[in-house]
Amino acid sequence: MSERDTTERSSELVDRARNVVPGGAQTGLRAQAYDTGDVAFESASGATLTTVDGETFVDYHLGFGPIVLGHAHEDVDAAAHGAIDDGVLYGAGTAPLEVEVAERLVDLLPSVEMVNFCNSGSEATYHAIRLARAFTGNEKILKFEGCYHGWHDYVDVSVYPPEERLGEQYPESDGMLSAAVENTLVAPFNDADAVRKVLREHGDDLAAVILEPVPHSVGCLLPDQEFLETLREETRERDVPLVFDEVITGFRHSPHGAQGEFGVEPDLTCVAKALGNGYPVAAVGGREDLLAQAGGDNESGVVISGTYSGNLPGLAAARETLDTIVEEDVQGYLTDLGDRYRDGLRDLMADHGVEGRVVGHRSIFSPQFGVTGEPKSYADVLGLDEERFRAFAAGMRERGHFFTPNPYKRHHLSFAHDDEHLSSYLDDADDVLADL
């Protein structure tokens, strides 16, 4: 594909945005797209994005991962439109869609007995931690370096700490509540001994242990089975709720989540992203005794609220998305396709003598330059060549492939990607890697 033509309208729109929106985008992470040039999109379909200038890109960003079936999926959109016709929000009692989608989550996720809906992954992890704190009467939580659980103060700690701050509580944002940071303990991912040590020293004060079972906020760290089983054994022994943040892994890697894939069941599960193929819908689910605290039938119960929680278009999209994932074996298709992307990219990097590795799992992959070996913890991600990745992202964007230039993030695949997209990506990566 030839290099991109004019982006005049995109640049004009981004300039206008910067006058009224901090950074010119709705989050700082979205603004990182500008590292390889101003861009403003106005439509999406299948595996492609189209800008206001009429440029079309094959999309490997997919909104940070929610688009698992493809943009503007006909059946999902039709379901959401049908829900709109009946009113988007009732805000009292329940509705058939709430019950139907909750029942699907209970059926699909091995550990889930009850469900509360919300609107985003950050809300889901916030609610899960509140439920755990109410259950235990404790305040401290344990999380792992490199795991991202949302932007709120409870968990935005030690996601991307500098090397000299490893093992410390590193707040990722200014303005965070110091008490929240102090009550968030951190440990290396995949370190079973570190888990035992923290639980031995702080087990009586812990409200929860939370993790991404496959941390994709740093590309991909695959969990050791011993690590997951140690977490389960140690937390169960002390009656400390174990929380799986399956916001990324849930329904993208398996209909049964990472808990089904690895055979380790948490007490609470957070899902979002691929749950609704891009529609704003999320949920926290888990053990009945934990979720029942939010039943609203006593004065000492847990408050879980949200005006737009259980909005009907989002739930309709979730129902159709879940049904499609199961009926069409979406993950089987994406796993095979992802393997071929990863293998092809690894071969090209070897052919061109480019130092690095390709990490990933099933429908997610990412080249990481300047580092080698299989990463097992966040420390193994430190030292990657950020500038080389940005150069790779810029070169691929010039040739019509879009993904975030953030070197710690990842490519996603959707059910709309096919062999033609694969061939085009690898052909163009061949040229870009030759330049690198």
pLDDT of residue 299: 63
The CA distances from residue 226 to 143, 233, 274, 401, in Å, are 17, 10, 28, 38
DSSP string for 178-193: HHHHHTEEEE-TT-HH
pLDDT band at residue 6 using 50, 70 and 90 as cut-offs: low
**Residues 282, 118: Cα–Cα separation, whole Å:** 5
Q: How many CA atoms lie within 13 A of 68 on its CB side?
A: 37
DSSP string for 359-423: EEETTEEEEEET--S---SGGGTTT--HHHHHHHHHHHHHTTEE----TTS-EE--TT--HHHHH
Q: Domain 74-327, what fold?
A: Aspartate Aminotransferase; domain 2 (3.40.640)
Architecture of domain 8-72+329-435: Alpha-Beta Complex (3.90)
Averaged pLDDT for residues 387-402: 98
Nearest alpha carbon to residue 111 among 233, 265, 271: 265
Mean pLDDT of the chain: 96
| Start-to-end C-alpha separation, the chain | 19
Domain ranges of the chain: 8-72+329-435, 74-327
Residues 357, 345: contact at Cβ < 8 Å?
no
pLDDT of residue 300: 62
**Residues 84, 398: Cα–Cα separation, whole Å:** 39
Token digits of residue 79:
């379901």
pLDDT of residue 82: 96
**Residues 3, 282: Cα–Cα separation, whole Å:** 38
pLDDT of residue 7: 78
**Catalytic choice (245, 267, 385, 428):** 245
Residues 289, 111: contact at Cβ < 8 Å?
no
Residues 56, 50: contact at Cβ < 8 Å?
yes
pLDDT of residue 296: 78
- pLDDT of residue 66 exceeding 70: yes
The string of pLDDT tens digits covering residues 141-186 is 999 999 999 999 999 999 999 999 999 999 999 999 999 999 999 9
pLDDT of residue 4: 46
The string of pLDDT tens digits covering residues 19-51 is 999 999 999 999 999 999 999 999 999 999 999
Token digits of residue 169:
């509580």
Query: What is the percentage of the chain residues whose pLDDT exceeds 70?
Result: 98
CA angle, 391 then 397 then 401, to 5°: 125
CA angle, 258 then 260 then 263, to 5°: 100
Query: What is the percentage of the chain residues whose pLDDT exceeds 90?
Result: 96
**Catalytic choice (60, 77, 140, 148):** 148
Q: Do the bridges between strand 356-361 and strand 41-45 make them parallel or antiparallel, or are there none, so unpaired?
A: unpaired
The string of pLDDT tens digits covering residues 78-119 is 999 999 999 999 989 999 999 999 999 999 999 999 999 999
The CA distances from residue 154 to 133, 143, 150, 360, in Å, are 12, 10, 9, 28
Residues 361, 222: contact at Cβ < 8 Å?
yes
**Catalytic choice (140, 143, 273, 409):** 273
pLDDT of residue 298: 57
The string of pLDDT tens digits covering residues 265-274 is 999 999 999 9
Q: Reply yes or no on whether 38 is catalytic.
A: no
Q: Reply yes or no on whether 148 is catalytic.
A: yes
pLDDT band at residue 421 using 50, 70 and 90 as cut-offs: very high
